[in-house]
Structure 1
Amino acid sequence: METTAPNRSAAGGSSRVLDSAGGIASRVSEAVRASGVSKVELARYLGVCRKTIDRRLKGEREFMANEIGLIAKRLKVPVAELLGDA
């Protein structure tokens, strides 16, 4: 099982995903719960602290575009499902 993300960069030059209504945060949060992956494990995979993940899952901070792809890969769900395009 892969535990670290290849070529990850939490802050390095990636754009934020606009989520004004919190829909992405809600979908990612639900996918995390359904997957059984812990927030700590997801934070480590993304290379960020758990507080950062908590804030993003609550919709207090936006996800980075590269994080959405990495989260989808780790949780084994389509990116479109997290973005609401499914």
Structure 2
Amino acid sequence: MKGITSAIREQIAAHGLSTVIVAKRLGIGRQTFSRKLNGHVEFSLSELTRLAEILGTTVADLMCRADQIANEAISSDGFTIQDKASGSIILQARRVDWEGGDAA
């Protein structure tokens, strides 16, 4: 979910729109739109389709960007445990090289 909401936020910013304007064009309240953008409530397919139209893109392009965002979050120097259903990252770790350290 985080990837798609990040992709939507990017497109809103790229078009110089406010969330209030987008919510109004989408036909939902500002608070409802905010809950959806914050991942508390999922967007319906019809809402995603309408959002894509408002933002001058396609749902497929939004989904591709969402995948890119999710993959950017996964570092090649570590690992990530991610919930497949929601896309939420449960644990993310990376390797850090330490100079010195505590003496035993």
TM-score (norm 2): 0.56
Moved over 3 A (4+): none
Percent of counterpart pairs with the same letter? 36
Unaligned runs of 5+ in 1: 1-18
TM-score in terms of structure 1 length? 0.67
CA-atom RMSD, angstroms?
1.7
Which one has more relative contact order, counting CA pairs under 8 Å at least 6 apart? Answer: 1
Aligned partners of 1:27 and 1:81 also within 8 Å = no
Report the alpha carbon displacement of residue 37 of structure 1 after superposing the two structures with TM. 1.8
Superposed, 1:55-70 pairs within 5 Å as 55-70=35-50
Q: Which has the higher strand share?
A: 2
**AA matched with 2:56:** K
- Does the aligned pair in 2 maintain the 1:37–1:75 contact within 8 Å? no
Question: Cα distance, 1:84 vs. partner?
Answer: 2.2
Please name the residue that 1:44 is paired with: 24
Give the greater-gyration-radius structure (CA).
2
**1:75 partnered with 2:55:** yes
8 Å CA contact retained: 1:43, 1:53: yes
Aligned counterparts of 1:59 and 1:35: Cα–Cα separation in 2: 22
Map Cα deviations across residues 10-37 of structure 1 (whole Å, 9 max, x no partner). xxxxxxxxx3xx2111111111111112
